[in-house]
Amino acid sequence: MINLTTELRVAIRNLRRNRNRTLVALLTVASGLIAYLLAGGFIEWIFENMRESTIRSQLGHVQIVKPEYFVKGIADPYSFLLPAKSTELESIKQLPEVVSVAQRLAFSGLSSHGDNTVSFIGEGIEPEPEAVVSDQIRIRSGKNLSSASEKAALLGEGLAKNLGVTPGDTIVLLVTAANGTPNAIELKVAGTFFTSAKEFDDSALRISIDLARKLMRVSSATSWVLLLDDTKKTGEIVKKLRLTLPATTFEVIPWTDLADFYNKTVVLFGKQINLMKSIIALIIILTISNTQTMSVLERTTEIGTIMAIGLRRSEVLRMFIIEGILIGIFGGIVGVVIGYGIAEILSYVGIPMPPPPGMDTGFTAQINVTFPLVIDALALAFVTTLIASIMPAWKASRMNVVDALRCNQ
């Protein structure tokens, strides 16, 4: 019986004997992992960029609303108003993980300019805290809202285009106030903005929350929007707030429950990356299996000889499996190192991307190779080469000694 160290030395010697075949196997594994890391890292960057853009332009990390607001309050938001001032709001602002808390008042109605009339979905916001919460809302033209007393509106670029307005123009907002009576206000267009969500930009409008309260004849807000110092802390903060805030008065909603488009995108890209992983795994399995089968055929006489002098079938089986695993380990390491290097270079240079559908602004992408992605790639290399080695190794271990010795006679 031989020990593991000896088996490793023998396996390495056997791999070095046919360098060309071993090199092809190593390159197959490495190439598969490079492709997996680059594609997976690109999708990981897309996820991260979309996640942070969604959080920092629309949703925040956490929203606090009245219970059932997102079920029944869309049609009748003014039956689900939060208190304008409360001890709970002040205590939330003091949490060390909370960077900013912005009150919002949702409303909707018709906007008009000249002969153009377009429906809108509006938000009354606190300009200063909202500037922190929504720091990824990008101003296309004009300027952002700067003060609570400003009698101006910030329009999504799609809405501005449909109305035919530019900064400095005047628009009229017509709404149905909370008491059921119509109300209207004339405002200057302060600026236009855009986000990663075109459907949001096509209908969104923002004014100061003080102005929105006067317009809607209310004195409070429909939601409190929290921005945290780290997206990973969302679950922890949601749990803490649900334990401290009375459930009959407040409902704590994490951003993941509101980001429908993001969630669907993650599922779609997840299926694509799994398909790619399956294709890479199949290529590796077929290549390594073929390499090991050829090795068994070429070493038939050798296998017969070592079995004749006392090497057990289980040891022959283990010898070929170790050779396959070594190809997976070395090929995996080479693939990860090269893949990570290429990803860093491409991220440094930047990958110019065309505008998404419906948008007129492109972006510069990067490749985000995370530690879990590297572990997943190495596991892919190890598991596929192990699977690929089992059948050739089994055939080698089941050889008839006499037939193997006669093979080259």
Residue 248 confidence (pLDDT)? 87
The answer to whether residues 39 and 95 belong to one domain is no
Q: Which residues on neighbouring strands pair with residue 21, listed in sequence order?
A: none
The answer to whether residues 186 and 299 belong to one domain is no
Closest CA to 223 of 101, 109, 135: 101
Residue 401 confidence (pLDDT)? 61
Residue at 177 is within a domain = yes
Give residue 242's pLDDT band: very low, low, confident or very high (50, 70, 90).
Answer: very high
Residue at 62 is within a domain = no
Residue at 93 is within a domain = yes
Residue at 200 is within a domain = yes
Domain assignment of residue 362, given as a range = 4-54+262-406
The answer to whether residues 144 and 276 belong to one domain is no
At 372-408, the pLDDT tens digits run 999 998 988 888 888 888 877 777 667 666 555 555 5
Report the alpha-carbon distance of residue 147 to residue 220 in Å, rounded.
Answer: 18
Give the domain-ending residue among 217, 249, 281.
249
pTM higher than the cut 0.75: yes
Q: Percent of the chain having pLDDT more than 70?
A: 89
Give the domain-ending residue among 205, 224, 249.
249
The answer to whether residues 95 and 138 belong to one domain is yes
Residue at 236 is within a domain = yes
The answer to whether residues 319 and 215 belong to one domain is no
Give the domain-ending residue among 190, 223, 249.
249
Query: What's the start-to-end Cα distance of the chain, in Å?
Result: 29
The answer to whether residues 82 and 228 belong to one domain is yes
3-state secondary structure of 134: coil
Give residue 239's pLDDT band: very low, low, confident or very high (50, 70, 90).
Answer: very high
The answer to whether residues 48 and 149 belong to one domain is no
- The label of the residue with tokens 């399995």 reads 285
The answer to whether residues 195 and 316 belong to one domain is no
Residue at 255 is within a domain = no
At 15-70, the pLDDT tens digits run 777 788 788 888 888 988 998 899 889 888 988 888 888 898 888 999 999 998 88
The answer to whether residues 207 and 300 belong to one domain is no
Give whichever of 16-25, 80-89, 269-278, 336-345 has the largest mean pLDDT.
Answer: 336-345
Number of domains in the chain: 2
Among 53-67, 171-185, 283-297, which stretch is predicted with the lowest mean pLDDT?
A: 283-297
